[in-house]
Amino acid sequence: MDKILPSETALDLAKQVLAIEAEAIQGLSARLGATFLDAVALLLNCKGRVVVSGIGKSGHIARKIASTMASTGTPAYFVHPAEASHGDIGMIARDDVLIALSNSGESAELLTIVPLLKRQGARLIAITGNANSSLAREADVHLDARVEKEACPLNLAPTASTTAALALGDALAVALLDAKGFGAEDFARSHPGGALGRRLLTHVRDVMRIGDDIPSVPDSAGFSEAMVEMSKKGMGMTAVLDAAGRVSGVFTDGDLRRTLAQVDDIKAARIADIMTRNPRTIGADKLAVEAVQIMEERKVNQLLVVTGEGTLVGALNMHDLFRAKVI
């Protein structure tokens, strides 16, 4: 028969865990100071790569820290300390910086490789919960990640301590990101395969319609000519151009509905008299997500793309952005 935990007990335990772990992170914040800045400086001036290592639960946290650093402009990778003792230590060079994680600071696997690494010139940042531990004493910089207690009711399973170490690693990564001037486009280049990469790397020029696919009529055109162009190009609008090819207005499905309610003989109307003047436009070199923001702010589904002089070079609508998976 399945065991059932009373719902109130489960919620109380969950809230207690979150409170203990939040308190652990707050404690870290209060202790941050000169040693954290020393660690950032050591990593910032690293001529090689950053190596992150740990065993057990600390190893899982170390992997995540390495991954976060690598994706935010600090080349980093994880090395398993037990494997390092059996050959993988050759992956660490003299110009590298090792970040070693151990709550006790006495992990035998780490302590075995530390003297070898220091002998060849690599630097060591230790993240431990014990400032008097062997690992802390060997470190060039020690970051104190101690917690008052684990969130585990037995005070045994690594919970608050691993959360604190993870948060400290994130703090290092973000401090380095800022110091290096790592921006949104840099981040996108590290994530080209995902939705984030598409959002940050896709420009308007990559998704806009060009040439004969752009709906446009001269400002001398009549209503019927504009309707034919709108129907043929299937964008629900047409640009209206002056004699120099600059955008002087736009006529959309919404304009059509409003005009039908206001003009008695719409077929006789000139498009220049019923168009929307000074429409919002965008440049081809802008990010596609900026086009999305404009459309959402202005509550429109289409956007004209122009040069700095106002010459029409493209057009796009929400469907184009959906197809490009920008939204």
Q: Report domain extents, the chain.
A: 7-181, 204-323
Please tell me the distance from the alpha carbon of residue 104 to that of residue 41, in angstroms, as a whole number. Answer: 25
When pLDDT is averaged across residues 288-314 and rounded to a whole number, the result is: 92
CATH number of 7-181: 3.40.50.10490
Mean pLDDT of the chain: 89
User: 257: how many CB neighbours lie within 10 A of its CB?
Assistant: 10
Q: Is the pLDDT of residue 159 over 70?
A: yes
User: What are the φ/ψ torsions at residue 241 (nearest 5 degrees)?
Assistant: -115, 150
pLDDT band at 298 (very low <50, low <70, confident <90, very high): confident
| 86/121: higher pLDDT | 121
Phi-psi region of 181 (alpha: psi -120 to 50; beta: other; left: phi over 0): left
Is the pTM for the entire model greater than 0.85?
no
Q: Is the pLDDT of residue 191 over 60?
A: no
What is the reported pLDDT for 198? 59
Beta-carbon-side half-sphere exposure of residue 93 (alpha carbons within 13 Å): 7
What is the reported pLDDT for 73? 85
What is the reported pLDDT for 188? 58
What is the reported pLDDT for 321? 86
CA quadruple 191, 196, 197, 198: dihedral sign: positive
What is the reported pLDDT for 32? 92
Residues 197 and 284: beta-carbon distance below 8 Å: no
DSSP 8-class letter at 238: E
- Going by C-beta distance under 8 Å and a sequence separation of 6 or more, which residues neighbour residue 140? 42, 123, 124, 125
Please tell me the distance from the alpha carbon of residue 238 to that of residue 217, in angstroms, as a whole number. Answer: 7
Pairing of strands 50-54, 281-282: unpaired
| 258/219: higher pLDDT | 219
CA 20 to chain centre: 28
The correct CATH number of 204-323 out of 3.10.580.10, 1.50.10.10, 3.40.47.10, 3.40.50.300 is 3.10.580.10
Strands of the 312-317 sheet, one edge to the other: 281-282, 302-306, 312-317
What is the reported pLDDT for 85? 80
What is the reported pLDDT for 197? 57
Please tell me the distance from the alpha carbon of residue 279 to that of residue 310, in angstroms, as a whole number. Answer: 11
- Going by C-beta distance under 8 Å and a sequence separation of 6 or more, which residues neighbour residue 258? none
Please tell me the distance from the alpha carbon of residue 201 to that of residue 182, in angstroms, as a whole number. Answer: 15
One-character DSSP codes across 94-155: TT-EEEEEESSS--HHHHHHHHHHHHTT-EEEEEES-TTSHHHHH-SEEEE---S--SSTTS
At 3-40, the pLDDT tens digits run 666 677 888 889 999 999 999 999 999 899 999 999 99
Closest CA relative to residue 52, chosen from 170, 159, 164: 170
**Sole residue written with tokens 């690494």:** 117
Residues 230 and 238: beta-carbon distance below 8 Å: yes
CA 217 to chain centre: 41
34-44 vs 160-179: helix crossing angle, rounded to 10: 60
Amino acid present at 200: L
Please tell me the distance from the alpha carbon of residue 58 to that of residue 78, in angstroms, as a whole number. Answer: 12
**Residue 129 CB burial class (10 angstroms; 0-12, 13-18, ≥19):** buried
For the ranges 140-149, 162-171, 267-276, the lowest mean pLDDT is seen at 267-276
- Token pair recorded at residue 98: 């090792």
- Token pair recorded at residue 327: 């939204």
Please tell me the distance from the alpha carbon of residue 230 to that of residue 179, in angstroms, as a whole number. Answer: 51
57-71 vs 160-179: helix crossing angle, rounded to 10: 20
Domains 7-181 and 204-323 share a fold: no
Q: Is the pLDDT of residue 187 over 70?
A: no
Q: Is the pLDDT of residue 128 over 90?
A: yes
The SS3 assignment for 156 reads coil
